[in-house]
Amino acid sequence: MDVQPDDLPDGLVIADGAGRVVCFNAAAVRITGRSREEALGSPLHTALPLEDLDGRRWWQLTDPYGGPAIRNGQPERNLLLPGGHEVLVAARYVRARPRGPVERVVVTLRGTEARRRTERSHAELIATVAHELRSPLTSVKGFTATLLAKWERFTDDQKRLMLETVNADANRVTRLIAELLDISRIDSGRLEVRRQRLDMAAAVRRHLEAHVAAGRPASRFKTGIADKLPDLWADPDKIDQVLANLLENAVRHGEGTVTIEVQPTSFPRDPGGTATAVTVSDEGPGIPEESMSRVFTRFWRGSRRGGTGLGLYIVKGIVEAHGGVITVDRAPEGGARFRFILPVGAPAFMA
């Protein structure tokens, strides 16, 4: 299938050997605000009156048709269109033979919005990490310095309390670093899934027992686990992360009874395929309708204070790395309801 210039997401402008524009695709029209009819046939420097960030005219500086014959183009860089509109521009010079005259200049244009969103996301990540690290590290530094300087003045119980606090804060730092590594792997597509036969019912019961052992009343939890579940092949450690995050959110930020259901189901992307569905719901205020689409994005915290806002982003990445899907909606009791579905996989799927 031939790809047409208007099918491309980036702006494409092509000038012939005489410097006249012969191609000006739909994305170029959108990015520059210049009509195709106005651009076609006009000189390249007229169709694209670009300036660098110092206000110098770009085509006069680069001189694609008259410059050294060894050049093959210009790398991508920020340039300005009239009105100060910033755009990313790269150019390639096409020659019929080495050192021959330029027969075509191929220019690509990209808006800077996506890059700015990425930069803002990176800046927000750095700010969040700095904020989350500052508190536990300040605590660790303060308690260790105090113990080193005044060890003999404290009782054993006081020393134990301070060391327990240091240990808890060190664990917070370790968890944050683990979250950052997970995000890096998810964003780069390098999150490894080590599939094993997984007993989802046993995994859920283990997490509930841990909550009860931590002092939460057993009456807070209700389960609905099917008697017969299909064999599931998944990464136990990563599914533990998903369960821990969803249950902790329901317990800490929800209200009333937390209900966990594990049921066989069909897979949404393959209605004939077998899957396991896990649903975690509570009876709290739930998530506002207008926030539903942002729940799984980075830094979403809703109205809550504290935390990095990265947990649900990681949960979604883990579920999708298994080939699964995760959704959120309002539970019948009014709280939040998270549901993730994993295709059962097979031993042969463990590459």
Q: What is the pLDDT of residues 189-227, one digit of tens each?
A: 888 889 999 999 999 999 999 999 989 999 999 999 999
Q: What is the pLDDT of residue 306?
A: 54
Query: Which of 78, 96, 111 is the C-terminal boundary of a domain?
Result: 111
Q: What is the pLDDT of residues 109-129, one digit of tens each?
A: 998 776 676 667 777 777 777
Q: What is the pLDDT of residue 350?
A: 41
DSSP 51: B
Higher per-residue confidence, 323 vs 115:
323
**55 and 69 part of one domain:** yes
Element (H, E) at 328: strand 325-330
Please state, in angstroms and as integers, the Cα–Cα distance from residue 150 to each residue in 3, 153, 156, 209, 275, following that order.
74, 6, 13, 40, 59
Average pLDDT score over residue span 47-74: 91
Q: What is the pLDDT of residue 233?
A: 93
- As a whole number of angstroms, the distance between CA 93 and CA 19 comes to 11
Q: Look at residue 168 and tell me whether its pLDDT is greater than 70.
A: yes
Q: What is the pLDDT of residue 329?
A: 92
Phi, psi angle pair for 32, to nearest 5°? -90, -20
**177 and 254 part of one domain:** no
Please state, in angstroms and as integers, the Cα–Cα distance from residue 299 to each residue in 183, 223, 266, 304, following that order.
12, 30, 32, 11
CATH number at residue 12: 3.30.450.20
Percent of the chain predicted with pLDDT > 70: 92
Q: Look at residue 271 and tell me whether its pLDDT is greater than 70.
A: no
- Give the three-state DSSP class for 276: strand
Report the half-sphere exposure of 187 (CA within 13 A, side-chain side): 13
Q: What is the pLDDT of residue 79?
A: 93
Q: What is the pLDDT of residue 308?
A: 67
Q: What is the pLDDT of residue 124?
A: 73
Contact partners, residue 72, CB within 8 Å, separation at least 6: 92, 93, 95
Average pLDDT score over residue span 41-54: 93
User: Within a 10 A sphere around the Cβ of 68, how many other Cβ atoms?
Assistant: 7
Average pLDDT along the chain: 87
CATH number at residue 265: 3.30.565.10
- As a whole number of angstroms, the distance between CA 266 and CA 243 comes to 21
Cα 107 from chain centroid (whole Å)? 30
Distance separating the N- and C-terminal Cα atoms of the chain: 33
Query: Which of 188, 215, 250 is the C-terminal boundary of a domain?
Result: 188
Domain count, the chain: 3
Query: Which of 188, 204, 229 is the C-terminal boundary of a domain?
Result: 188
Q: What is the pLDDT of residue 348?
A: 41
Segment of 174-178, 308-312, 316-320, 330-334 carrying the highest mean pLDDT: 316-320
**74 and 134 part of one domain:** no
**105 and 120 part of one domain:** no
Q: Look at residue 75 and tell me whether its pLDDT is greater than 70.
A: yes
285, with CB counted inside 10 A (0-12, 13-18, 19+), is middle
Q: What is the pLDDT of residue 305?
A: 52
pTM for this model (two decimals): 0.62
- As a whole number of angstroms, the distance between CA 247 and CA 208 comes to 8
33, with CB counted inside 10 A (0-12, 13-18, 19+), is exposed
**200 and 317 part of one domain:** yes
- As a whole number of angstroms, the distance between CA 279 and CA 266 comes to 14
CATH number at residue 179: 1.10.287.130
Residue 308 is encoded by which pair of tokens?
């990095």
Q: What is the pLDDT of residue 1?
A: 52
Q: Look at residue 151 and tell me whether its pLDDT is greater than 70.
A: yes
The label of the residue with tokens 């998810």 reads 186
**130 and 95 part of one domain:** no
Q: What is the pLDDT of residue 347?
A: 47
Average pLDDT score over residue span 290-305: 74
**204 and 332 part of one domain:** yes
- As a whole number of angstroms, the distance between CA 325 and CA 313 comes to 13
**207 and 342 part of one domain:** yes
pLDDT band at 340 (very low <50, low <70, confident <90, very high): very high
Average pLDDT score over residue span 90-110: 93
Q: Look at residue 56 and tell me whether its pLDDT is greater than 60.
A: yes
Q: Look at residue 303 and tell me whether its pLDDT is greater than 60.
A: no
Show the domain range for 159. 115-188
Q: Look at residue 7 and tell me whether its pLDDT is greater than 80.
A: yes
Q: Beta strand 270-281 with 336-343: parallel, antiparallel or unpaired?
A: antiparallel
**70 and 129 part of one domain:** no
pLDDT band at 293 (very low <50, low <70, confident <90, very high): confident
**206 and 329 part of one domain:** yes
Q: Look at residue 50 and tell me whether its pLDDT is greater than 70.
A: yes
Long-range contacts of 43-50 (CB under 8 A, 24+ apart): 43/19, 44/13, 44/15, 44/19, 44/20, 44/105, 44/107, 45/19, 47/13, 47/21, 48/13, 48/81, 48/89, 48/107, 48/109, 49/81, 49/82, 50/79, 50/80, 50/81, 50/87, 50/89
One-letter amino acid for residue 63 of the chain: D
**Where is average pLDDT lowest: 57-71, 302-316, 320-334?**
302-316
Instruction: Return the sign of the alpha-carbon dihedral for residues 47, 116, 77, 54.
Output: positive
**172 and 153 part of one domain:** yes
Average pLDDT score over residue span 36-49: 95
Residue 195 is encoded by which pair of tokens?
């599939």
Find the helix packing angle between 311-321 and 156-188, rounded to 10°: 50
- As a whole number of angstroms, the distance between CA 42 and CA 35 comes to 12
**158 and 224 part of one domain:** no
